[in-house]
Chains A and B, each alone.
Chain A
Amino acid sequence: MTGLLPDVATILPTLLGGLQISLTLTFFSLLFGLPLGLLFSFGVTARNRAFRYVSVFFVEVGRGAPALVLLQLMYYGLPNVEITLSSLASACLALVWTTAAYTAELIRGGIQAVPAGEIEGSDALGMSVGDRLRFIEIPQGLRIALPSLMGFAVLLFQATSLAYTVAVPELMSQAYSTGSSTFKYLPAFIAAGMLYAAISVPATWLSVLAEKRLSRHL
């Protein structure tokens, strides 16, 4: 056990580049996944059949299949249909899918929680459906869904650790290569764990805080 802490301290700074890639992956998955999630949240109840079926397919498969399966599907599967993406792009695509599927349900829950009086009010004012969505339902629904969306973002950040299986040089894969080249597996993985925790623990507190603040008036 001697020398564990110094080892962790030496390895920790070398992993920061990997952490940056993990965060970038999280950021782009949210950037593209959230708008798609909003789209699917309307899609799953849409009257247009084609739109509904496509949305239900993406939401059900994205939520039902493990993120790891989607990652490998994109990385090993897409070349079968003549699409070859870099490992980072294919990991991003898989996580965008996961994000869109989970957030679609969270956003739908938020929008359904908008009080019926608000909808009646906008009808009474003669608002068009588009205006009602834009000014009444979506802003209030997203506000209600915010704490759970923040909670999901933390889980997504943790899920980026699976991207190491498709050769993305993120935090986990850097820790693994440090471990296997120096045989200091334990310090390397402890350092990686500390970096993951340093981001996700405070972020979780933030989402709990947001939940408390937003439910203050309820």
Chain B
Amino acid sequence: MLQAIALGLPLTLLVTVLSLGLGTVLALPLVAGLRSGNRAVWLLTRGIVDLLRGIPPVVWLFILYYGVSLGTLRMSALQAAVLGLGLVSSAYLAEIFRGAIGSVHRGQWEASSALGFRGGTAWGRVIGPQAWRTAIPAYTAYGIGLLKDSSIASTIGVAEIVFFSNQYARQSGEGIMVFFIAAGVYILLSMPLGMLSRHLDTKLRKAVAR
């Protein structure tokens, strides 16, 4: 039983890490769009973000896995899972980043331009680090949520924890234990992440506390 869960662990972690990475990268253009002064660009980005968040992840996974084909070429289950969860994450993360950037005080922008910083320097050295500090708790909370959402990948056949637990439950007929242990594994996995997040948060808070 434990073996079944241990077999699934690598893919659970892989799907989580890859889709979080993909989501973070894809979130950046979305944030730019959400902050855009151009009405058309803003509306388009808003629509994309709302649609990505408004449709359940499992539907995105099914659309990508069963629905999308280029000629005879189809995505593997892992590719579809990472792309689907990455797309959904990008929308949620874009909202988190947007809020964090908005929380940086206006004076910081004014001070950057008063010091003659160009856009790149202002973002990289002044606004970015402060916004990132605000975003960390929400970002890690989303990461923990994504760890749990990675279980959805089992529905299209990615061999992660729930996939193996399900297989074991069907074969042995002992569903109750295997799913309780699976639940325990998810809780155990999210605990160090939560601790890391709190640690980073207090450390960064201390750095700016006066």
Q: Give me the interface of A with B, judged by CB distance under 8 Å.
A: 60-61, 64-70, 72-73, 75-81, 158-159, 161-162, 164-165, 172, 175-176, 179, 185-186, 189-190, 192-193, 196-197, 200-201, 204
Contacts and interface: CB of A to CB of B under 8 A. Distances in A.
B58 A172 contact: yes
Task: Label chain B's interface by main secondary structure.
Answer: helix
A73 B180 contact: yes
A69 B51 contact: no
A152 to B, nearest CB: 12
A186 B177 CA distance: 37
Nearest to A199: B54
Interface stretch (B19-27, B98-106, B111-119, B162-170): B162-170
Contacts of A68: 151-152, 154-155, 162
Nearest to A179: B66
Contacts of A197: 50-51, 54-55
Which 3 interchain pairs have the tightest Cβ spacing?
A: A76-B175, A186-B67, A65-B183
Contacts of A80: 173-177
A170 to B, nearest CB: 11
B68 A186 contact: yes
A61 B187 contact: yes
B62 A64 contact: no
Contacts of B59: 161, 172, 175, 189, 192-193, 196
A76 B170 contact: yes
Contacts of B180: 73, 77
